[in-house]
Amino acid sequence: MTAEVDRSLEGDKKCTLCHNEASGHVLAIYQTKHGVKGDSRTPGCQGCHGESVEHQGNPTKSPDVVFGAKSKHLSSVDARNETCLACHESSVLPRTHWSGSQHESHGVACADCHELHTNDQKVLNKLTQPEVCFQCHQNERAQFHRFSRHPILEGKVSCSDCHNPHGSTGPRLMVKNTITETCYTCHAEKRGPFLWEHAPVVEDCTNCHSPHGSNVMSLLKTRPPMLCQNCHTSDHAKGLYSGANLPNGAFVTGNGAIPLGAQSPTDQANGKSCLQCHSQVHGSNHPGGAKYNR
Domain ranges of the chain: 1-119
The predicted pLDDT at position 252 comes to 46
State the virtual CA torsion across 159, 165, 168, 170 in degrees, nearest 10.
40
CA atoms within 13 A on the CB side of 67: 21
The pLDDT of 70-82, averaged and rounded, is: 89
Interior angle at CA 54, CA 9 and CA 60, nearest 5: 100
pLDDT tens track for 172-229: 999 999 999 999 999 999 998 999 999 999 999 999 999 999 999 999 999 888 888 7
| Angle (nearest 5°) at CA 180 between 174 and 186 | 85
- DSSP secondary structure string for all residues of 151-164: STTTTSS-HHHHB-
Task: Note the pLDDT tens digit of each residue in 137-175.
Answer: 999 999 999 999 999 999 999 999 999 999 999 999 999
How many Å apart are CA 196 and CA 103, to the nearest integer?
39
Nearest to 123 by CA among 152, 71, 160, 163: 160
CB 97 within 8 A of CB 103: no
3-class DSSP state for residue 214? strand
Q: What percent of the chain has pLDDT over 90?
A: 60
